[in-house]
Structure 1
Amino acid sequence: MKIIIAAGTGFLGKNLEEYFTEKGNKVYILTRNPKRKNEIYWDAKTLGEWKNLLEGSDVLINLAGKSVDCRYTEKNKKEIFDSRIESTKVLQQAINQCINKPKVWLNASSATIYVHSETHLNTEENGIIGDDFSMNICKSWEKEFYKSETENVRKVALRTSIVLGNNGGAFPKLKMLTKFGLGGKQGRGNQNVSWIHIDDFCRAVEFIISHESISGEINVTAPNPLSNEDFMRKLRKQLKIPFGLNATVWQLEIASIFLNTETELLLKSRNVYPEKLIQNSFEFIHPTVEKAFEDLL
């Protein structure tokens, strides 16, 4: 297949590129800083030479969007919003100009679209979507994505949870904190953690591409969310660290200022279930966090 990954130089993009390249596919990356032969310049908001790449391609995966791991200042909030909407909009414009359009377009979204939930398990069918900055970003993002129906282009929004891998994302930081004895629960510890192993993430993307009956919103997450307290306890156990200091909400508020991030990333309860993947018989290699930790560590 000819696969285009927009904004594919980050943690998820690199792993997807490696995964699909190893299977004999041709992968091209759209990036602001092209350094290799298969990387092409784009600014994620205006049409350019890059649009010719989409002609006759099989798959387009859009991962563009400023990281939410920052302080939610007005400037950063605007960048988080604009980067997602503009990239989605300009990709639609490029596809509209193609004679042979990509067969499937996977656009990033987030499991953060669902409300803070400690008891209600959010599936694609019955998930409760609320109203705050993060949820509204996801809603606007998906609205822009689905605004234009494009003939013969299957669209899938990837509502992805926290992805666990050793070469990026949140996991290396959690590992480091735990090794320093700071791997206790965060806040009350009863907020749920929805997660997926990086290998299962790549396999799920491949599965969605190859199953033409799958479209619309997909929860890309392992089937067993667990509480923050359990998650950290199991991580300590795997790392053989006997203790972990707990962090109260006020301590996290102070730390987040110094770490230039927001406490929501740790304290929001994401209780999400991959119903569509399960219904379509997708099999997880790492269905439990113990299996994921065992592999990663």
Structure 2
Amino acid sequence: MKILIAGGSGFVGQKLTELLFKKGHDIIILTRKGKQSEGTIKFVQWIKEGSSPEKEIGGVDVVINLAGVSINDGRWTENHQRQIYESRMTATAELLRIVEALSEKPSVFINASAIGIYPPSHDTVYTEKSTEVANDFLGRTVHDWERKAATMMEHGIRTVFMRFGVVLGNEGGALPLMALPYRLFMGGTVGSGVQWVSWVHITDVVHAIVFAIENNRLNGPVNVTAPNPKRMKDFGKTIGAVLHRPHWFPVPALLMKAALGKKSSLVLEGQHVLPKVLTNEGFEFKFPTLESALRDLFY
């Protein structure tokens, strides 16, 4: 297949490109920087004055949208929050414009999303059938992002919203920072410890995206989280156990708020999210338990 990826140079995008390349697909990566194409991987410039990517793309079978400023980088100032929001709206709008300009439409559109759309809760279990939307920055951002992406359906294109949980990997995401205190023998419970961490191994993320491409029954929201989420206290204890480090140095919520500001909500709040669509369709997680995921990443 011929697959177009926006955000192919990011944490998830790089791993996904590697997997798609191994499977023999032709890949086009939209980039703001001029890059020389490499074999079956073609780089096309976009979102820059004078660029017309639709003239270089031709027909594509799949469009994948992973573009957007990372929520993990930098303090959540008003300016950074605006960049997070606007980068997603701008990239999605441009992909819609590109697809509208193509004479041959793709058969499927995969749009990155996040479980941040669900309200934080200690008790509620969320699945793809849950309709609650968090009334905070992430909830509003994800809601508006999905609503914008849903416009693809007007062209008869199967559209899937991959709602990523806390993605665990060595090259990016939250894990390196979460593991650092334990490596320094200073790990412990963050905040109350009862908040949920709906995590997922990066390998399962990219395989889930490929699964969504190949499975025509998948439409709309798809939770991309491991089937066994953990409360923060147990999450930390598992990191300590796998690294053979103590879990003893508590990090109060006030300290996290002082250090991270509004972004502290990423670790002080959480959602208990289950991947019902993936499991019901027969997707097999390579790392269904946190211990197996951490052992793979740490060793």
1:168 and 1:81 map into 2 onto residues whose CA distance is 20
The Cα offsets for residues 91-146 of structure 1, whole Å up to 9 and x where unpaired, read as 11110111111111111111100000111110011253221111011111111111
> Structure 1 residue 289 and structure 2 residue 290: aligned?
yes
1:132 maps to: 136
The Cα offsets for residues 181-205 of structure 1, whole Å up to 9 and x where unpaired, read as 2321110011000011111111111
- Give matches, 1:92-111, under 5 Å: 92-111=96-115
2:278 maps to: 277
Q: State, as a whole percentage, how many aligned pairs show the same letter.
A: 35
Asked if 2 retains the 8 angstrom alpha-carbon contact of 1:193 and 1:271, the reply is yes
**Root mean square deviation, CA, Å:** 1.7
The Cα offsets for residues 52-95 of structure 1, whole Å up to 9 and x where unpaired, read as 35431111111111122333322222211111111111111110
Greater shift in the superposed pair: 97-106 or 170-179 = 170-179
CA distance change for structure 1 residues 23 and 256 in 2, over 3 Å: closer, same or farther? same
Asked if 1 retains the 8 angstrom alpha-carbon contact of 2:111 and 2:161, the reply is yes
2:61 maps to: 58
Query: TM-score, structure 2 length as denominator?
Result: 0.93
> Structure 1 residue 9 and structure 2 residue 13: aligned?
no
Q: 1:223 offset after TM fit, Å?
A: 0.8
Asked if 2 retains the 8 angstrom alpha-carbon contact of 1:193 and 1:225, the reply is yes
> Structure 1 residue 49 and structure 2 residue 52: aligned?
yes
1:273 and 1:289 map into 2 onto residues whose CA distance is 14
1:255 maps to: 259
1:268 and 1:227 map into 2 onto residues whose CA distance is 10
> Structure 1 residue 67 and structure 2 residue 70: aligned?
yes
CA distance change for structure 1 residues 205 and 53 in 2, over 3 Å: closer, same or farther? farther
- Give matches, 1:223-262, under 5 Å: 223-256=227-260, 262=263
1:178 maps to: 182
Runs of at least 4 residues off by over 4 Å: none
Match of 2:172 among 163, 168, 172: 168
1:153 maps to: 157
CA distance change for structure 1 residues 100 and 239 in 2, over 3 Å: closer, same or farther? same
Match of 1:206 among 210, 233, 242: 210
For structure 2, the 5+ residue unaligned runs are none
2:31 maps to: 31
1:177 and 1:54 map into 2 onto residues whose CA distance is 46
Query: TM-score, structure 1 length as denominator?
Result: 0.93
The Cα offsets for residues 226-282 of structure 1, whole Å up to 9 and x where unpaired, read as 10010010011000112441100111122226xxx7201111112111111111111
